[in-house]
């Protein structure tokens, strides 16, 4: 069976091109050209389009709480994100292993308490 070659894509904003191909191309081009990557942040926290979370920072904090057994146990014992922060800081941790500060102002505490702690 003949498979045609991938289209020659130069613009990753072209919606007609396959997404995985554009992501690979953009990643390759940015690495090759050493272009700085920029981040965009949502201004409306009613928009939960970042993997079901308000923004990257909230998603990252929730990811670590939900996927680290020790941290999850401490979180459930603490009962709220605010109480968990006290425990985390007593242990000497200031940020997630991915570099997001536990107290980053972009972290949506209300969403964390609602979705992680069921408050």
Tens-place pLDDT, residues 36-47? 444 444 455 555
pLDDT of 88 reads 94
Q: Does 32 fall in a domain?
A: no
By CB neighbour count within 10 A (0-12 exposed, 13-18 middle, 19+ buried), where does 109 fall? middle
Q: What is the pTM for the complete model shown? A: 0.60
Q: Encode 32-44: b = buried (16+ Cβ within 10 Å), e = exposed.
A: eeeeeeeeeeeee
**Residue with more model confidence, 63 or 48:** 63
Provide the domain limits for residue 97. Answer: 56-115
Q: Does 91 fall in a domain?
A: yes
Q: Does 9 fall in a domain?
A: no
Q: How many domains does the chain have?
A: 1
Q: Does 98 fall in a domain?
A: yes
Q: Tokens 């020659």 identify what position?
A: 8
Q: Does 41 fall in a domain?
A: no
Q: Does 79 fall in a domain?
A: yes
Tens digit of each residue's pLDDT (9 = 90 or more) over 8-18: 444 444 444 44
Q: Does 51 fall in a domain?
A: no
pLDDT of 51 reads 85
């Amino acid at each position: 069976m003949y498979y045609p070659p991938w289209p020659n894509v130069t613009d990753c904003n072209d919606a007609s091109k396959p997404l995985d191909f554009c992501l690979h191309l953009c990643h390759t081009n940015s690495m090759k050209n050493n272009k700085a990557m920029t981040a965009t942040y949502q201004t409306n926290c009613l928009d939960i389009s970042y993997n079901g979370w308000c923004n990257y920072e909230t998603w990252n904090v929730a990811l670590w709480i939900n996927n680290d057994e020790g941290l999850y146990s401490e979180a459930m014992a603490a009962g709220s994100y605010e109480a968990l922060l006290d425990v985390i800081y007593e242990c000497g941790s200031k940020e997630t292993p991915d570099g997001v500060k536990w107290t980053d102002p972009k972290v949506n505490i209300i969403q964390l308490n609602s979705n992680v702690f069921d408050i």
